[in-house]
Chain A
Amino acid sequence: MTTRSSAARRFLSQRLTQVGLVLLLIVAVVTIVGPLVYGASPTRTHPMDTYAGPSATYPLGTDNLGRDILARVLHAGVLSIPAGLLAVGLGAVAGSLLGIASGFIGRTFDTVVMRVVDVLLSFPTLLTAIVVVAILGPSVTSAVLAVSIAALPSYARVMRGSVLPLRSAAFIQAARVSNTSLPRMLRVHVLPNVADVLVVLLVIGMGNGIVVLSALSFLGIGVQPPEADWGVMLTEGVRAIYTAPVAALAPALMLMLTVLGINFVGEGLGAALRVDVSGRRPR
Chain B
Amino acid sequence: MSFVRFVARRVLVTVPAALAVLVITFAMIRLVPGDPVQVIAGTNLDPQVAEELREQLGLNEPLLVQFFTYLQNVLQGDLGTSFLTRQPVADIVAERLPNTLLLTAAGVLAGLLLSLPIGIASALRDAKRRRAGLSFTTVTTMLVATPDFLLATVLATVFAVYLQIFPVAGAESWSSIVLPALALGIPLAGIQARVVRASVLDAVGRPFVRTLRAVGVPQRRLLTRNVLPNASIPVVTLLSVEFGRLLAGALIVENIFSWPGLGTTIFDSIGRRDLPAVQGEILVVALLILGINLLIDVVYRIIDPRIGLS
A residues near B, CB below 8 A?
15-16, 19, 115-116, 118-119, 122-124, 126-127, 130-131, 133-138, 207, 211, 214-215, 218-221, 234, 237-238, 241-242, 245, 248-249, 252-253, 255-256, 259-260, 262-264, 267, 278, 283
Contacts and interface: CB of A to CB of B under 8 A. Distances in A.
A131 B145 contact: no
Interface in B53-93: none
B289 A122 contact: yes
Contacts of A259: 145-147, 150
A221 B153 contact: no
A108 to B, nearest CB: 16
Contacts of B161: 241-242, 245
Interface in B285-310: 285-286, 289-290, 293
B157 interface: yes
Contacts of A16: 134, 137-138, 141
13 contacts: A122-B289, A123-B286, A124-B289, A126-B248, A137-B32, A218-B149, A221-B267, A234-B149, A234-B150, A242-B168, A245-B162, A260-B146, A263-B144
B9 to A, nearest CB: 15
A130 B147 contact: no
A249 B154 contact: yes
A250 to B, nearest CB: 10
A171 to B, nearest CB: 31
A218 B168 contact: no
B153 A215 contact: no
Contacts of A242: 161, 168
Contact of A263 (B141, B156, B270): B141
B275 interface: yes
Contact of A123 (B145, B255, B256, B289): B289
Given A15-B134, A127-B289, A249-B157, 7 more contacts: A15-B138, A130-B267, A134-B278, A219-B267, A238-B256, A256-B146, A264-B145
Contact of A137 (B33, B134, B142, B194): B33
B245 interface: yes
Identify the 5 closest CB pairs spanning chains A and B, nearest first: A263-B145, A124-B245, A124-B248, A219-B267, A252-B153
B227 to A, nearest CB: 22
B32 A127 contact: no
Interface residues of B, number: 53
**Best-surrounded residue of A135, A136, A263, A278 (most CB of chain B within 10 A):** A135
Interface string B9-33: 0000000110011001000100111
A248 B138 contact: no
Query: Which of A134, A218, A253: most chain B Cβ within 10 A?
Result: A134
Given A134-B270, A221-B271, A264-B141, A126 B278 contact: no
Contact of B17 (A119, A130, A137, A237): A119
A252 B150 contact: yes
A185 to B, nearest CB: 32
B134 A119 contact: no
A230 B145 CA distance: 17
Contact of B270 (A133, A214, A238): A133
Interface string B157-175: 1001110000010000000
Contacts, number: 133
A237 B153 contact: yes
Nearest to A234: B153
Nearest to B169: A241
B185 to A, nearest CB: 16
A123 B25 CA distance: 14
B267 A137 contact: no
Given A127-B248, A136-B33, A220-B267, A207 B150 contact: no
A137 B273 contact: yes
Given A115-B16, A242-B161, A131 B256 contact: no
Interface in B247-264: 247-249, 251-252, 255-256
Given A248-B153, A259-B145, A219 B252 contact: yes
Given A127-B286, A215-B147, A260-B146, A241 B156 contact: yes
Contacts of A241: 153, 156-157, 160-161, 168
Contacts of A131: 24, 28, 282
B248 A134 contact: no
Contacts of B268: 220
Listed residue (A207, A214, A221, A252) with the most chain B CB atoms within 10 angstroms of its CB = A252
A164 B237 CA distance: 27
B39 interface: yes
A123 B248 CA distance: 9
A260 B145 contact: yes
Contact of B275 (A134, A138, A234): A134
A215 B252 contact: yes
Contacts of A248: 153, 156-157
A207 B145 contact: yes
A262 to B, nearest CB: 8
Pick the most buried of B33, B161, B282: most chain A CB atoms within 10 A of its CB.
Answer: B161
Most buried by A among B39, B145, B160, B251: B145
